[in-house]
Structure 1
């Protein structure tokens, strides 16, 4: 977690004047990542998925601040994410969001709560399906419901990128054993992936899909890789004979 926070802070230095939004899964969406980020760069915000057992609290009433003694930091217990999902389903509204390249109609409900794990207010969005639901939260209270859903949905491209690096490029098949060799192998794989997508961005016509998928018209990473291979290593008929060696036998 400390390494992840350090890497995020290093990247955020290149975006001075902006408010970076860290989108992560529920394993990273806790105070272990949020505490060092908020302490070092208050402009950074977090967007993640809530666990079903997380308890949410209301803001403390104004009267509690004027009463004697230490003021309350949290209001009444509103319930767990699961309990609130059952009671708020009927209050959900319809939204149109862009997910995975398509416009989709969803039902969602949002509200601002206090989250004890982060010790700050968050905007929570429940997205309801036919029989299931999912809850997201963000520390950036200015984000709309559609932005929260679309930003989190964009995480899938990261998962696809991991697959491209591991399977298509071959980072998971490293035979190196020393730390430097493993690190160099991974860096070359990342470089190859970056160059592949730069090449894909500059070609005039989209490559044909090798494996047709119903409802998909865009090309895949493997299609670009095959195109580069064909351009770099054009198929030539093999004559069946090899050129004689120029070296003198000893």
Structure 2
């Protein structure tokens, strides 16, 4: 019996890959593997194993070909990264121009935690080390990944990801590289980051690209009000309610003290010292923020900074739904390729849902169920037996 009907889930990927010119950079076998990785990663119940990808994408070849593709396959991840960056920027730039809104480059890192191997282990995972976890507030064993997203309005697209190598570039250097990768445009562009990243080199790199920076600041950061050297925390002890303005962000009210002056390589920057309204002015409860765009109001600075939260939800979704931290490959090349394929899968998902990863995942998984039901129906109408359908779907 010939199978007249095939599962239609591969057709959207073929069309998308042609649209993004992937056949110019990858061979047919490589495209075949990329398609299966994307489909498997976006499937319901994906746990990060190659077995899941082999099963969920209905890969016809042996499962070991997927491992070989990651570890020894002849393909270049830099091409796939460039495609992600080009497509993401095109989408965000179009949104910014249409809505007359800024472009936000959101930068942060996360830890893909792994079990520390026994000293007797012969084949340990490569490139892992102890990294500080912001979520757990302590050092954990694993790989640190530095990531950038692009955002305009409510659209958010993954842009770039780099694994931090303790023997290679620092996280600050990786951050500078990721900022430099963002194309310049006529749109106002802001780099958003937490208090770990606003170093002199990051501020200078952003300025050279024509980007402003809005970031958190550590309260022990040194500045020079009236030429006097002191920390933000020390300065905050002299602030009273009459020195502050009331700012409402969302459903919360804050008391904000604003200072403008020189900081590092920036000649004039705005520093905001903030407390929740009604909770006093204890320096230990203060949150500090920086904006290199002094034309923004206090409310605009805090409102723009709040958009950084998109990368926190992205990491959570990527770890829970895309198994970002549950890969089971050992070599650094395989790990880097896995992370690049995951980045590409996230782009495909976001692209199909106007910049929403979680919505795109839901829509794709629902559509895949519909395709499966339609396939089974068409096969039965064509005379296929139950055993033949089970074999075709690899559940026999």
Both proteins in one fold, TM over 0.5: yes
Q: Which has the higher contact order (CA 8 A, sep 6+)?
A: 2
In structure 2, what is the equivalent of residue 151 of structure 1?
A: 304
Query: How many Å separate the matches in 1 of 2:346 and 2:298?
Result: 33
In structure 1, what is the equivalent of residue 254 of structure 2?
A: 106
In structure 1, what is the equivalent of residue 336 of structure 2?
A: 183
Structure 1: stretches of 5+ with no match in the other structure: 59-74, 203-218
Quick check: 2:206–2:213 contact (8 Å CA) kept in 1?
no
Task: Give runs of aligned pairs for residues 71-90 of structure 1, distance below 5 A.
Answer: 75-77=226-228, 79-90=230-241
How much has 1:157 moved relative to structure 2? Answer: 0.8
Give the one of 272, 280, 291 matched to 1:125: 272
Query: How many Å separate the matches in 1 of 2:185 and 2:357?
Result: 34
The root-mean-square deviation of aligned C-alpha atoms, in Å, is: 3.2
Quick check: 2:346–2:357 contact (8 Å CA) kept in 1?
no
| Deviation string, structure 1 residues 179-232 (Cα, Å, up to 9, x no partner) | 443233222212222233333349xxxxxxxxxxxxxxxx992x6534432321
In structure 1, what is the equivalent of residue 174 of structure 2?
A: 3
Quick check: 1:78–1:84 contact (8 Å CA) kept in 2?
no
Give the one of 174, 184, 187 matched to 1:15: 184
Tell me if 1:47 matches 2:199: no
Whichever of the two has the greater Rg, that structure is 1
SS of equivalent residue, structure 2 residue 271: strand
Give the one of 95, 112, 122 matched to 2:247: 95
Query: How many Å separate the matches in 1 of 2:185 and 2:193?
Result: 21
Structure 2: stretches of 5+ with no match in the other structure: 1-171, 377-385
How much has 1:78 moved relative to structure 2? Answer: 6.2
Quick check: 2:256–2:272 contact (8 Å CA) kept in 1?
yes
Q: How many residues align?
A: 204
In structure 1, what is the equivalent of residue 203 of structure 2?
A: 34
SS of equivalent residue, structure 1 residue 87: coil
Cα 1:93–1:37 shift into 2, 3 Å: closer
User: TM-score normalized by structure 2?
Assistant: 0.45
Quick check: 1:30–1:118 contact (8 Å CA) kept in 2?
no
Quick check: 2:195–2:218 contact (8 Å CA) kept in 1?
yes
